[in-house]
Amino acid sequence: MTVASKKKFGRYKILSAIGAGAMGEVFLAEDTRLERKVALKILPEKFTVNQDRLNRFVREAKAASSLNHPNIITIYEVGRFGGANFIATEFIDGETLRDILRKGNLSLDEVLSIFIQTAEALSAAHAAGIVHRDIKPENIMLRRDGYVKILDFGLAKLVEDSEEKSDYEGITQELGKTNPGVVMGTISYMSPEQARGLEIDVRSDVFSFGIVLYEMISGRKPFEGETISDIIAAILTREPPLLTNFAPDAPKELQRIIKKTLQKKREKRYNSTRDLLGDLKDLREELLLETKLELSTAQSEIINNLNFTLPTGRVNQNSSAADSTSTKDALLLTEFGNLTGEAVFDATLKTALAFSLEQSPFLDIYPETKVRQTLRLMGRIPDERVTEDLGREICQRQGLKVYITGTISNLGTVYVLTLESVNARTGETIGRQLAQAESKEQVLAALGQAASGLREKLGESVRSIERFDAQLEYTTSSLEALKVYSMGREQSQKGKTFEANPFYKRAIELDPNFAHAYLGLAGN
């Protein structure tokens, strides 16, 4: 009886099949002991018959997981049940880069964000002496909140160790008997030294990284062939086609970075992913600076002039008039998506975000009183929660061009915040900003940093952001005080000033330096 036909696998309840490949079957399962969803990978027996090799894999997998890096998937358990070896990892609600490639529609800034996060994860792993060995689109996932997760650390080494042949093509031919499509995909992302069966180091991951980045930009692989031998020959002997053949407007610095990652001789590549990461970050900052300069000259355009449509790989450097906005167009704030289950964040983060954005002389926030009026005109309850869909409808009714939405999620004690500015007409993301807080107490500070980053992406200068920034002394560093203040502010916006006062007073008790709470009380 196969695992797929069973409802239980040890303490794991099988919910559904996720996929299968050369490295095993993957299922969505529930850990009945800890009551959480997991991804359960059942390893093929042929890769685990040698106990020494299996033990080596277990050590490496645990080492990768112990890095506790937000961009590396967490491994919960490596074990054996019913004669089968398995790995239980966190379940990622998102898409692989392969899925995203099929859709083919990411901005250049989004591509850079994905690969900067990927490079950060690899840099952390490499610093710990861990080489991934199998970087490919299927092993890089993008969560719905924009966070990247790298999968399957250590599994490629397990596959290599399961065969006695030194020639890697021999290994893949053996694997190809059961799943040639998967193996062909893996071969396409090998480094030359991997293809030769030589000893590898971090520079092998750099090469594979470059292949995936090339493919994301151009929509095609740099080394192609009809057979495994053809692909290996291309990797070993042929230079990839010029990136400009498929993405003529790709920045020259990006072309240089990719070319350096794909050098046949590893000593000519980046010596470390840290160096690669630095170049990617510098490139992204340069592109944002160029955009801000264009914005300053035009005095009326919003960012998002980097529409990088995949897989054709054409960069459109001209924003349409429909996508532009004046420097004082109002922005609508939708409700913050709280994925943590912690009530203290409900309404609180929207208030904190408003504090930060209201400091900007470049941006105007659409007043909550007008939001309530619009809801009445729409025949809705004035107090209705403004979701992203409802916010977009309000924007279209009132002629607002942009709305801002945000989410907070948590990975244990680490909190991840995501802010997005969205074109209300098309629904396309204009700018996205991520921030991470190591504890609940750091969430407000992280949100402030994310808001400043979003202001910058919307075209505000760094000097302006630094000059007009909400200080914690003026707002508050206390989540509880801000939560109570938000409740008072909600009452004030309804015109219930008397009911609002107790909330403002309580906020002051929690934080005697909370200036906004004093202003709220004085205004009533």
Across the range 61-82, mean pLDDT stands at 78
d(CA 55, CA 79): 11
Q: What are phi and psi of 395, to 5 degrees?
A: -60, -45
At 273 the pLDDT is 94
Question: For 355-387, what is each residue's pLDDT tens digit?
Answer: 788 777 778 888 888 898 899 888 888 888 899
Alpha carbons within 13 A on the beta-carbon side of 514: 29
Sign of the C-alpha dihedral, residues 85, 90, 96, 99?
A: positive
Across the range 21-35, mean pLDDT stands at 82
Domain end point (choices 423, 451, 467): 467
Q: Do 345 and 222 lie in a common domain?
A: no
Nearest to 362 by CA among 472, 425, 454, 449: 454
Q: Do 276 and 364 lie in a common domain?
A: no
Across the range 402-423, mean pLDDT stands at 88
Question: For 214-241, what is each residue's pLDDT tens digit?
Answer: 999 999 999 999 888 999 999 999 999 9
Q: Do 84 and 109 lie in a common domain?
A: no
- Confidence check: pLDDT of 465 > 80: no
Please give the residue that has the higher pLDDT: either 522 or 194: 194
Please give the residue that has the higher pLDDT: either 288 or 416: 416
Question: For 241-250, what is each residue's pLDDT tens digit?
Answer: 999 999 998 9
Length of the chain: 524
Q: Which of 31, 109, 134, 145 is catalytic?
A: 134
Q: Do 489 and 463 lie in a common domain?
A: no
Domain end point (choices 265, 283, 301): 283
Contact (Cβ atoms closer than 8 angstroms) between residue 421 and residue 331: yes
Q: Is residue 290 part of a domain?
A: no
Q: Which of 75-79, 187-191, 219-223, 491-495 has the least mean pLDDT? A: 491-495
Supply the CATH number for residue 60's domain.
Answer: 3.30.200.20
Q: Do 402 and 426 lie in a common domain?
A: yes
Contact (Cβ atoms closer than 8 angstroms) between residue 268 and residue 275: no
Q: How many independent structural domains does the chain possess?
A: 4
Q: Is residue 199 part of a domain?
A: yes
At 455 the pLDDT is 84
**Ranges 50-64, 230-244, 302-316, 428-442, most confident:** 230-244
- Confidence check: pLDDT of 303 > 70: no
d(CA 268, CA 239): 14
- Percent of the chain scored above 70 by pLDDT? 77
Burial of 448 (0-12, 13-18, 19+ CB in 10 A): buried
At 355 the pLDDT is 79
Strand locations in 184-265 (E): none
Contact (Cβ atoms closer than 8 angstroms) between residue 422 and residue 428: yes
Please give the residue that has the higher pLDDT: either 45 or 363: 363
Which residues span the domain enclosing 148? Answer: 94-283
Q: Do 370 and 407 lie in a common domain?
A: yes
Q: Do 50 and 69 lie in a common domain?
A: yes
Q: Is residue 294 part of a domain?
A: no
- SS3 string, 338-385, reads ECCCCHHHCCHHHHHHHHHHHCCCCCEECCHHHHHHHHHHCCCCCCCC
- Confidence check: pLDDT of 501 > 60: yes
Strands 414-423 and 364-365, sheet pairing: unpaired
Q: Do 170 and 257 lie in a common domain?
A: yes
Q: Is residue 309 part of a domain?
A: no
Q: Do 164 and 121 lie in a common domain?
A: yes
Please give the residue that has the higher pLDDT: either 447 or 19: 447
Q: Is residue 230 part of a domain?
A: yes
| pLDDT tier, 135 (very low <50, low <70, confident <90, very high otherwise) | very high
At 221 the pLDDT is 95
At 157 the pLDDT is 54
Q: Is residue 314 part of a domain?
A: no
Q: Is residue 148 part of a domain?
A: yes
Q: Do 435 and 342 lie in a common domain?
A: yes
Across the range 340-360, mean pLDDT stands at 83
Nearest to 50 by CA among 132, 160, 124: 160
At 270 the pLDDT is 96
282 a catalytic residue? no
Supply the CATH number for residue 115's domain.
Answer: 1.10.510.10
Alpha carbons within 13 A on the beta-carbon side of 124: 18
Q: Do 176 and 107 lie in a common domain?
A: yes
**Ranges 171-180, 280-289, 454-463, most confident:** 280-289
Q: Do 79 and 180 lie in a common domain?
A: no
Question: For 190-199, what is each residue's pLDDT tens digit?
Answer: 999 998 888 8
- Confidence check: pLDDT of 265 > 90: yes
Domain end point (choices 73, 90, 107): 90
Query: What is the SS3 assignment for 424?
Result: coil
Q: Is residue 303 part of a domain?
A: no
> What is the chain's mean pLDDT, rounded?
79
Q: What angle do CA 172, 177, 181 make, to 5 degrees?
A: 70
